[in-house]
Amino acid sequence: MLAVFATGTALHWLADVLAPFALAVFLWLVIDGFAETIHARARVGKVGVGRGLALALALLIVAAAAATTVMVIADSATEFARALDGYRGKIDRMLANAHAALREPLGLGAEPPSAADLFAGLDLSAFVGSLAQAARSLVSNGILICIYVAFLFAAERAFTQKADAIFTRAGERRQARETVAAIRDSVEQFVWVQTWTGAIPAAIAWAIMAALGVDNALFWAFLIFLVCYVPTIGPIVATVLPSLFALVQFDEPWRIAAVFFGVATPLFVMGNIVQPRVQGESLNLNTLVVLLGLAVWERIWGITGMFLSSPLMVTIMVMLAHNKGSHWLAVLMSADGKPLKTRAAQPAAAPAAASESTNA
């Protein structure tokens, strides 16, 4: 327990150094898994795509997607901030109506609050300064993450030799390979499932909001897609924020209800029906563990920890499961008592055993 507490404290103190590196490792796994998929399935005529070309294509696609997301959110956020001032009158009317309805039951004062009162404590200069600092931090961390990813790919070839030098016994070497394969498969499966189960609700929500005339519909769609990577809490935030904005923008109740159900329905279907079926074997975590991991990693690494909480908890569970002394902890963390029920855990043993026999 003391070791866990000391490790968590060290991770928090070194967040500025370790959080970008953790993101780089996560991004490296994503790009490498994407490249493996292209290498295994893509064809140019009857000729397959080589590993080098597949890696270059994966890098270009991931970089283009990241750049597009940042550009759209940056442009849309500026328009959203400008449009927010135009809704002050609507907010004042909503506050006045709420005050009139709740004045007698709650014993409120004679004068209703206004939008100016709500934002009176907001220091705009400090807010703009914090946004500028966050932007600078994002750019600097982005450059650092790219450097980390480049060196991870450069050092990838030596990983096998180093692992063989560390684990000299055949059994230890096989167990290490199975653990790494299970972690890698779980993380790649998590990213893949979260990506397309977030992209589909975001596209449906964008179509509905654009048809209803919601301002900055593209911004909300990208925001829905991004927060879907945060387990449990993400879909709730993705539903509440656009609905509140529609409440401020529209006067017709049916439009507000259409926005709410148009966003909530695909998120509910994906989160409660589709994801458990396609991700049950890769993210075999108890729901309480997911929530606890989300809170702990947010405390340690902030927003970065929230996005990485599920892959990190899966990694911890798999590592605990492959150790006899800590296997019981992995069982408690798992959803069904079978922490090693991953796609990589079984197939990984065969190539590892074949490699051991070859080495022998």
Cβ atoms of residues 254 and 242 within 8 Å: no
Distance CA 9, CA 15 (A): 10
Q: How many CB atoms lie within 10 A of CB 332?
A: 14
Both tokens of 124, joined, read 């705009």
Query: Which distant-in-sequence residues (6+ apart) come within 8 Å of 205 by Cβ?
Result: 220, 221, 224, 238, 242, 262, 263, 266
Indicate the domain borders of the chain: 15-85+123-166, 167-360
Distance of CA 117 to the CA centre of its chain: 35
pTM for this model (two decimals)? 0.73
Cβ atoms of residues 318 and 186 within 8 Å: yes
Distance CA 277, CA 279 (A): 6
- Render each residue's pLDDT in the chain as its tens digit; 360 residues: 898 889 989 999 998 889 889 988 888 888 888 888 888 877 665 666 787 888 888 888 888 887 787 777 777 666 666 666 666 666 667 767 666 766 666 666 666 665 555 555 555 445 445 544 555 566 667 888 888 988 988 888 788 788 878 888 888 888 888 888 888 887 888 888 888 888 899 999 999 999 988 888 888 888 888 888 887 788 888 888 888 888 878 878 898 899 999 999 998 888 777 777 666 555 678 888 888 888 899 889 888 888 888 888 888 888 888 888 888 888 888 877 777 654 444 433 334 433 444 444
Three-state SS letters, 270-305: HHHHHHHHHHCCCCCECHHHHHHHHHHHHHHHCHHH
